[in-house]
Amino acid sequence: MKRKSVKSEGKEEASPDVLKEKSKSKKRKYIKVEFDEDHRVKMKGKIERAHGLLGSMYGIPQKLSEATNTNACNKKDTICEAVVSLMLSQNTSDRNSSRAWASLRKKFSTLDEIRNASVESIEEAIKKGGLAKRKSKMIKEFLNDVHSKYGETSLEFLYTKETEEIKKILLSFKGVGPKTCACMMLFTMDRPEFAVDTHVHRVSNRLGWVNTGTNREKTFEIMNKLVPDELKHDMHVLMIRHGRRTCSAQNPKCSACKLTNDCLYFASSKEEKSESDKELDF
Ligand code: SF4
């Protein structure tokens, strides 16, 4: 029978040093993950297995471009439209950003109309999406920048460029960071680039594919090399679904997860539980 530890009911108060030590030992232990060729090969097998298991949990995603014969970023027609749409999606829900995009397109029928509009009227059109003040300036600046650099509000010429060149050009625009750029590459331009959002970052760390703490850009850098090109689209979509539905930030539902055999977080939780059970036994 398991009983409560006598120690925990002791009358003596623990010293601050002891408390500090205890709280340290409660911190989850992560195994240090080095990135090298061996790790890449080992991870390839794990990622392929996870692809199958996550696919069986959520269904293998179909590329929107294959399903609808349009570009894959919510059917946005052009590269510039996709960038604007992604700017609207920053720090807000899909629902809010879709509403903001619909409202923007209802008010302005072309990108040049948006470019020539006042910041205030753009802000008014996208207010349903949140952070409208900041995003309205960002959108206008981006469209003006494209127009002044290339003489038109279009970046369709990027389709003819090599991947690295496209990345360089996209990242040169203010408001286009690594995540927006990777989403553009993956969804709109169908190039193998592994976008990392907060869910992908958390799940990759918990599984032990990376060990990057809070550094999401580092996760992007490593995962982009680890995930095979042919799985980049699927794994991005599946890991977001997994992070939203099962592997949530607080209280992940490990009992409903098929990845427990390969998960460092799960293994270390089990280890902690058995250690605390031993402490409770006497
Ligand atoms: S076992 Fe738990 S922590 Fe690991 S991936 Fe599944 S839900 Fe996330």
Q: What is the pLDDT of residue 208?
A: 93
This prediction has a pTM of: 0.75
> Where does the chain hold its CATH 1.10.1670.10 domain(s)?
37-53+194-261
Rounded to the nearest whole angstrom, what is the distance from the C-alpha of residue 249 to the centroid of ligand 1?
10
- 179 as an active site residue: the answer is yes
Question: CA-to-CA distance for 63 and 139, rounded, in angstroms?
Answer: 27
Give pLDDT tens digits for 238-278: 999 999 999 999 999 999 999 999 999 999 887 776 666 66
Average per-residue pLDDT in the chain?
83
Question: CA-to-CA distance for 19 and 21, rounded, in angstroms?
Answer: 5
Is the confidence at residue 56, as pLDDT, over 90?
yes
pLDDT band for position 70 (50/70/90)?
very low
Those residues with Cβ within 8 angstroms of residue 51's Cβ, 6 or more apart along the chain or in another chain: 231, 234, 235, 238
Q: What is the pLDDT of residue 246?
A: 98
Give the CA-trace dihedral at 194, 245, 263, 37, to 10 degrees.
0
> Where does the chain hold its CATH 1.10.340.30 domain(s)?
73-188
Residue 206 Cβ contacting ligand 1 at under 6 Å: yes
Task: From the candidates 46, 179, 232, 270, give the one annotated as an active-site residue.
Answer: 179
- The two structure tokens encoding residue 279: 């402490």
Q: What is the pLDDT of residue 130?
A: 84
If you write DSSP's letter for every residue of 64-132 in order, what string do you get?
Answer: HHHHHSS-TTTT--SHHHHHHHHHHHTTS-HHHHHHHHHHHHHH-SSHHHHHHS-HHHHHHHTGGGS-H
Under a CB-based contact definition with an 8 Å cutoff, are residues 205 and 33 in contact? no
Is the confidence at residue 16, as pLDDT, over 50?
no
Q: What is the pLDDT of residue 203?
A: 98
* CA-257 nearest atom, ligand 1: 6
CATH T-level fold of 37-53+194-261: Endonuclease Iii, domain 2 (1.10.1670)
Architecture of the 73-188 domain: Orthogonal Bundle (1.10)
Residue 53 Cβ contacting ligand 1 at under 6 Å: no
